[in-house]
Amino acid sequence: MSYNAESFQRDTSVSRETVDDYKYWYETLCYWNESINLVSRSALGAFWERHAYDSWQLVPHIPEKASTFLDLGSGAGFPGLSIAISCKHRGCGNVLLVDSAGKKGAFLKKIIRDRALPALVSTERVEEINSKTYDVISARAFAPLPKLLSYTQRFWGKSTVGLFLKGESVEEELTAARKKWSFNVEKVQSRTNSTGCLLKITELIVQ
């Protein structure tokens, strides 16, 4: 049996209303993808496990009092929309999703509007976004860790948490990043990829 919405709800224990938001996201992505290539066909077929569940695994690591979120390279919403859906059902928080591709930005705006998610979309390049600190910074498949930290260091405050989904090269990326920055890191095994992990980075300081 393939991994589906019921599998996702079983593994995450989220509410039916939360699953409804994910279902709308998936159905709209299928519809848009017929005319706009937002994701590959194989990615669409693996939505519930490789994308919905993969993105959701950040949610349990969000600090309880976090209210401002920055998601880079949001694409079709992974993982930014998962965080926005979580914020909606927690009743707090606001997410800025960043993707310079206009068509992807339009897709994200539709999901946000139609599901009343607490989020905004920016189609500016990361370098052009106004400097301010965020409680949580997230990204998946956006850039190697050293470049990711270079892009985001001006958004870090004393209590900022970075939640980054990483693959097989994570140790090399950590070694390279430590040449310039000091930080604490917790490496959590991915729930969806045996060779992947979630990096939870705190106390980022330029050395």
Q: In this predicted model, what pLDDT tens digit does every residue of 162-184 receive, in sequence order?
A: 999 999 999 999 999 999 999 99
Host H or E run for residue 18:
helix 16-33
Task: Please give the average per-residue pLDDT across 35-57, as a whole number.
Answer: 92
All domains of the chain in start order, with CATH:
57-206 (3.40.50.150)
**How high is the pLDDT of residue 157?**
96
Helix (H) or strand (E) holding 157: strand 156-166
* pLDDT value at residue 43: 83
Over pLDDT 70: what percentage of the chain? 100
Q: Which residue has the higher pLDDT, 37 or 88?
A: 88
pLDDT at 3: 95
How confident is residue 64, by pLDDT bands cut at 50, 70 and 90? very high
Model confidence pLDDT, tens digit, residues 120-145: 999 999 999 999 999 999 999 899 99
Provide, rounded to the nearest whole percent, the portion of the chain with pLDDT above 90.
Answer: 91
Average pLDDT of every residue of the chain: 96
Query: 6 to each of 2, 3, 81, 82, how far by Cα in Å?
Result: 10, 8, 19, 17
Please tell me the predicted confidence (pLDDT) of residue 1.
Answer: 65
Model confidence at 207: pLDDT above 80: no
Residue 91 has pLDDT above 70, yes or no: yes
**Burial code of 96-134, b = ≥16 C-beta within 10 A, e = fewer?**
bbbbeeeebbebbeebbeebebbbebbbeebeebeeeeb
Predicted pLDDT of residue 52: 98
CA distance 118 to 102: 20
| The pLDDT of residue 203 is above 80 | yes
Model confidence pLDDT, tens digit, residues 18-32? 999 999 999 999 999
Q: Determine the average pLDDT of the residues in 71-89.
A: 97
